[in-house]
Structure 1
Amino acid sequence: MKHTGSAAVLGALSLLATACGGAAESPSGGSAAGGTFTYALRADPGVLDPAMGALSVTNTVLSLAYDTLTNVGPDGKIIPGLAEKWDVKPDSVTFTLRKDVTCSDGSKLTPADVAANIDHITDPAAKSPINGVLVPAGMKAEADDAAGTVTLSTPKPFSFILESTPIIFIVCGKGLKDRSALARGTSGSGPYTLTEAVPGDHYTFRVREDYAWGPGGATTKAPGQPATVVLKVVPNEQTAANLLVSGDLNGAMVQGSDRARLEAMPGIGKSIQSAGNGQFFYHQGDDRPAKDPAVRKALTQAINLTELAGIASGGTGRPATGLVLEPRPCRGDTVTGHLPAFDPAAAAAALDAAGWKAGADGVRAKDGRKLTLRLLYGTTRGAGVQAAAEYLAAAWKKAGADVTLNGVIDTKLSESLATAQDWDVAWLPIGVTLPTQLVAFLSGPAAPKGSNFAHLTNTRYEELVTEAVTKPGADGCKLWLEAESALFENADLVPVVENTTLVASRNATFQMQAELFSPTSFRMTEAG
């Protein structure tokens, strides 16, 4: 299989893992007319061209202004969006578009507009980081404006060709002719239009009063729909929590120490949502100790994963059951029973058997080379990740490894993983919505030539995904689930915990899915 990818996409899939589903419901009184909804962004979204939307915080912003061909319902099923119906084949899907959709500049959305989006993303000259990951590799688009249809096709059968479309934002109108205007502006068919962008500070959107093609026929005419949405860049969670309590924010996502304070506070709407997995990868390059599967499994046996899960999540996580976020297209637990059990004595024996003998200083060595591990992690992922890294280091030192902690800010993490390659173990959160989005990172050409940053070579995984990707949707799920388990059985990566986050609200209600807003769900409520 051929894949495309980049360090930027690695950041999209793993550094800002996404929250999924649910609503932040305020306990306040009845709906309030119009008004301004203010939400805290954890980082600046950067360039706002949807074709360059690698970070989930960027896509949070884009979800206000852009629609997608389809949407995902609360039960995980695909429902209409810009397309009112579709016909799916193993290697193509033909969408019939709604006829009433207009872009923010007043122009009518056409099938040719949709096709132009796909053509731009897949054009190598565009260097889109979502090509081959969020948009299937080799996808082509053919528009029939007279029939009102657009057909998306792939060179070979692709299992989630329909399920890929809820995450592809469609640009229309003037933005198709001048994409440079999208860096700090919007040109979409969504419910809101960007009116002011102050990078590093705030982004202001104004409602489109003519919007009438949201999920289930949702419009912007409902009582309480805010006329203005302001997204404030608030990197510090404590600051965001304080602003929420004071009423200066209507919504924020909180994972750290302030979460408990907000959960216990009256007047705060609360929704607990999935926020991606916490796990660690072993670097399997030729010169790394974890190249040997016996070493990987022994190092995994040396860790009490249940304790580590509690530490990493601050006690707010759930047992990891897979790599894909809810609502998953393939249901099942791929983790339980597929990881070596905690057994320090067995870990020591396995390292002995692999030739790593303890020296006088307690550090193991083989052929004159010490068992050294450089542990890479993101420092801006919260105190839990720092504590998890320290826990891993202590356990592996006890097992006879010489461990060095290497904490870097998140914006440098993908560069360190894919380019510098100066690591042996990496703690790396993941948040993807389809198993196909991971394949380029778990197989294929190794970094820096490809996206396979950990230099994984798991023949069983590769065989399973090669077959699975040719089967439509649910037909391939058994294979996709087996493929994940094959990674864990080989200790290529070790899932530790499914993180959760608090989506908190005050004087408003709203819904999010995969860290994307459902803008027509925004409701301002009377202060209570």
Structure 2
Amino acid sequence: MRIRMGHRAVVASVSVSAALAAGCGGTSGSAAKAPPNVTNGVVSMTLDGPVSSYDPTQASTFQDSVALAALYDTLVAFDPSGKLVPGLSDTWKSTPKTATFHLRGGVTCSDGTALTGAMVAASLNRLFDPATKAPLVRQAIGPGNSAKATSTADSVTITMAKAWSDLVPGMTGPFAGIVCPSGMKDPSSLRTKSAGTGAFVSESQVTGSSYTLTRRPQYAWGPAYAAQTAGEPPKKLVLKVVDDENTRANLTSTGELQIPSFTSNAWDRFKSTGGITVRTSPQSDTMLVFNETVGHPTADRGVRLAIAQALDRSVLNKVQSFGSGELISSLGRPSYECFDSGSNALVPKYDAAAAAKALKGVKLQVIGTNILAAARPTTRSCPRCRRLAPPRRSARWTTRRGCRTCSAARTTGTSRSSCTATGCRASCRSGSSSCTTRRRRASTSARRTTRRRRGPTTRPRPARPKRSAPR
């Protein structure tokens, strides 16, 4: 059973972009002073981390997707409402095992080469090839599946070994970006140089710090969105790796960043700043997944229901996304095919009393991001003398240093094991073989260490008897 806690966003469940008016048009009418406008057509935006490669098949991170979306085109695309729209193909049709895409004309690669059906098929076959080891290929053709692309002069057909209903939507991912012949000839060059049909081409980079992309003036194709933003596209796009969000906010205030993204509430300072538009964008989901293997508490449906009742999703939204997230009522968005609007009734209602009653005495282990509890416990008691550890060292003292009062860690046999935190001393008293072995080994190790530190022992030689001289 899965329970999806309904918010879509990056990490803290909200990604907020602040875009300057010169880049996107429009003003907020606020009296607060606006940062400097875009100059020379250069727009800077932030990345959460470095771009690993300009090779679409090797894309695996969010920052890879941002760069690849500017450098490469895909056969189809999603518009902001989740609807499929034309990309490199203007029409398509599909069956459970195949999909045929008719290519639009007039498309060229960044080196000026006209795009053909054979080039598209070659790029897709490289993606499907197991030797390529594309980490996200299963999103296109499904897990454990295989596919092959064939072509005519103006179309390409993908045929899979097994049926997969998400083949066409899978072609929207950045990993399905079409690589041109120059990149196909030397795939290793894609680590630092792009070879696509996208609106931008790679110009330069400072690895791990910034990536500069230049717009192609001849670019006149690409997805057509119903609500296309008005304004002149930037001449250059500079992707900057800025980890700290307060630094991002400061750079935005001084005009050095035009499109920063935030997962915290650092964007609050721009609510009253003129010339800046703040928008929330869904990015990712948080899910609660239960291990239903026999022997686990969550194999019991009643326990799973109680855990779901113990979670107040509205409070979670405030904690994790500062109230800007979206509570999901279905496994898909309303724009998805086969969307069921009635599935919201299946989400258990918050009921702390019922959850406490059902979970009384149940021991649970939670694996994943800790967003519900304090980041660090204030105290932890010694399992032997019950004295409290200093708060500053509360997270590690039982496993590394032991209790200063009773030296519990040394008594139980090892200062780096978890036995002091799990009541090992009680097991030692009852004759546990494992604890006895630990104590014996630790004792032997301690004696050897002592001898090495003392060094060799020297004894005074007995005095030799004096000999009388011969007569």
TM-score, scaled to structure 1: 0.60
Letter paired with 2:310: A
1:171 equivalent in alignment to 2:183: no
What are the within-5 Å matches in structure 2 for residues 324-473 of structure 1? 324=332, 327-333=335-341, 336-351=344-359, 364=361, 371-377=363-369, 386=371, 388-390=372-374
Does the 8 Å CA contact 2:14/2:321 hold for their aligned counterparts? no
1:143 equivalent in alignment to 2:150: yes
Residues 89-129 of structure 1: CA distance to partner in whole angstroms, max 9, x if unpaired? 33222112123111112222221222222222222222111
Equivalent residue for 1:490? Answer: none
Does the 8 Å CA contact 2:245/2:266 hold for their aligned counterparts? yes
Q: Of 71, 74, 81, which aligns to 1:65? A: 71
Does the 8 Å CA contact 2:97/2:159 hold for their aligned counterparts? yes
Measured in 2, the distance between the counterparts of 1:18 and 1:60 equals 17
Letter paired with 2:263: Q
Measured in 1, the distance between the counterparts of 2:19 and 2:95 equals 34
Structure ID, larger Rg:
2
Equivalent residue for 2:200? Answer: 192
Q: Of 101, 104, 120, which aligns to 1:98? A: 104
Tell me the matched-pair count.
353
Does the 8 Å CA contact 1:139/1:152 hold for their aligned counterparts? no
Higher relative contact order (CA 8 A, sep 6+): 1
Measured in 2, the distance between the counterparts of 1:88 and 1:21 equals 36
Residue 198 of structure 1 and its aligned partner are, at CA, apart by 1.7
Q: Secondary structure at the match of 1:193?
A: strand
Q: Secondary structure at the match of 1:251?
A: coil
Equivalent residue for 1:229? Answer: 237
Indicate how the Cα distance of structure 1 residues 69 and 20 shifts in structure 2: closer, same or farther if over 3 A, else same. Answer: farther
The Cα RMSD (Å) is: 3.5
**More strand, by proportion:** 1
Indicate how the Cα distance of structure 1 residues 136 and 79 shifts in structure 2: closer, same or farther if over 3 A, else same. Answer: same
Measured in 2, the distance between the counterparts of 1:86 and 1:179 equals 29
Gaps of 5+ in 2: 1-8, 29-36, 378-394, 396-471
Indicate how the Cα distance of structure 1 residues 46 and 111 shifts in structure 2: closer, same or farther if over 3 A, else same. Answer: same
Does the 8 Å CA contact 1:33/1:223 hold for their aligned counterparts? no
Measured in 2, the distance between the counterparts of 1:66 and 1:340 equals 43
Measured in 2, the distance between the counterparts of 1:19 and 1:327 equals 21
Letter paired with 2:107: V
Residues 10-62 of structure 1: CA distance to partner in whole angstroms, max 9, x if unpaired? xxx99798969999844359x98852111111222223311111212211111
Indicate how the Cα distance of structure 1 residues 57 and 349 shifts in structure 2: closer, same or farther if over 3 A, else same. Answer: same
Q: Of 302, 305, 314, which aligns to 1:297? A: 305
Q: Which runs of 4+ in 1 moved over 6 A?
A: 13-24
Does the 8 Å CA contact 1:95/1:150 hold for their aligned counterparts? yes
Measured in 2, the distance between the counterparts of 1:23 and 1:268 equals 6
Q: Of 234, 240, 246, which aligns to 2:254? A: 246
Indicate how the Cα distance of structure 1 residues 36 and 20 shifts in structure 2: closer, same or farther if over 3 A, else same. Answer: closer
Equivalent residue for 1:120? Answer: 126
Equivalent residue for 1:429? Answer: none
Measured in 2, the distance between the counterparts of 1:80 and 1:376 equals 38
Q: Secondary structure at the match of 1:186?
A: coil
Equivalent residue for 2:41? Answer: 35
Gaps of 5+ in 1: 1-12, 352-357, 359-363, 366-370, 378-384, 394-405, 407-528
Letter paired with 1:143: T
TM-score, scaled to structure 2: 0.66
Q: Secondary structure at the match of 2:44?
A: strand
Identity, % of aligned positions: 30
Equivalent residue for 2:418? Answer: none
- Which stretch of structure 1 is more off in the superposition, 303-312 or 250-259? 303-312
1:318 equivalent in alignment to 2:326: yes
Equivalent residue for 2:55? Answer: 49
Equivalent residue for 1:443? Answer: none
Residues 231-272 of structure 1: CA distance to partner in whole angstroms, max 9, x if unpaired? 000111111111112110110112312122222322212222
